Structure 1
Amino acid sequence: MRYVALLPLLLLCACYVDPYTHAPAAAPTDWYQAGWNDAMSGHPIRSNLVIAHMHNDENVDREEWLKGYAEGQQRICDPQLLLLLGQSGKSFPASCETLPDVSKRRTQWEKGNHEEFQRSFLR
């Protein structure tokens, strides 16, 4: 009779599944996409140490990351997009700071920011 009292405990223990047993293996980092994402998020160029830490991967492919960063930088630093970012109240992306014509791009962003300020002030 006393073994019957242990039966529910035995059944509960048998149903336990270790959550780490079936964990999927980590996929290799897409360094091009990581660079593109950093640029599009407005981040400045990062060191390999920071990139490795952020992606939990010591094998940084700097060349691929820089290619992706350059593509993302061209997209987010497009003058028309900067105008829209300024109009929406977003800050000027730090990823645009290293471009040679940053003053023209910042002027475009400031124009959008000023337009939005005037619109919100007149409401």
Structure 2
Amino acid sequence: MRTGYFALLAIFLTGCSVDPYTHAPEWSGTDWYSAGKEDAMSGAIVKANETLALDFNDTDVDRPRYLEGYNDGLKKICKDDLLYAWGRAGKIYPAGCDTQQNASQLRQSWQKGMDEGTRESLLN
């Protein structure tokens, strides 16, 4: 009887096993648009192709797509109110915003937030 339980248990456990390679995702390549957008929104400067190739382990860098994403990311973060908030939070000024037409105004907004944030932290 005991042998029957072990045989039944072995059959049950074997039936529940999953081959780990049957559902493995296939690599579809690097999403260069998202990589550029993420770089811009994190405040990073535009990266060289060699750096991108090393970072993403992908030598086939789609530079136009990366720059398109980077520029779209800059449109989202290079705004007066957002940079003011970045300054208040003590975050560094995003280097990519220096390439915008209103760069001096953007830097002033960030600096105003940085000054207020610093003053506020000194009072607390």
TM range (shorter): 0.7 to 0.9
Encode CA deviations 1:18-43: one digit per residue, 9 max, x unaligned.
x99x8643231111111100101111
CA distance in structure 1 between the aligned counterparts of 2:100 and 2:120, rounded to whole angstroms = 30
Aligned positions of 1:35-46 closer than 5 A? 35-46=36-47
Q: Which residue does 1:76 correspond to in 2? A: 77
Encode CA deviations 1:54-104: one digit per residue, 9 max, x unaligned.
111111111111110001011111111100000111111112122232111
Ranges in structure 2 where 5+ consecutive residues have no aligned partner = 1-19
Q: TM-score, normalised by structure 2?
A: 0.77
Which residue type is aligned with residue 33 of structure 2?
Y
Ranges in structure 1 where 5+ consecutive residues have no aligned partner = 1-18
Q: Which residue does 1:50 correspond to in 2? A: 51
CA distance in structure 1 between the aligned counterparts of 2:52 and 2:101, rounded to whole angstroms = 24
Aligned positions of 1:78-117 closer than 5 A? 78-117=79-118
Which residue type is aligned with residue 74 of structure 2?
Q
Which residue type is aligned with residue 117 of structure 2?
E
Which residue type is aligned with residue 122 of structure 1?
L
Which residue type is aligned with residue 73 of structure 1?
L
Q: Which residue does 2:6 correspond to in 1? A: none
Q: Which residue does 2:63 correspond to in 1? A: 62
Q: Which residue does 1:13 correspond to in 2? A: none
CA distance in structure 1 between the aligned counterparts of 2:93 and 2:82, rounded to whole angstroms = 11
SS at match of 1:65: helix
The count of residues paired between Structure 1 and Structure 2 equals 123
CA distance in structure 2 between the aligned counterparts of 1:43 and 1:118, rounded to whole angstroms = 27
CA distance in structure 1 between the aligned counterparts of 2:82 and 2:108, rounded to whole angstroms = 13
Q: CA RMSD in A?
A: 2.9
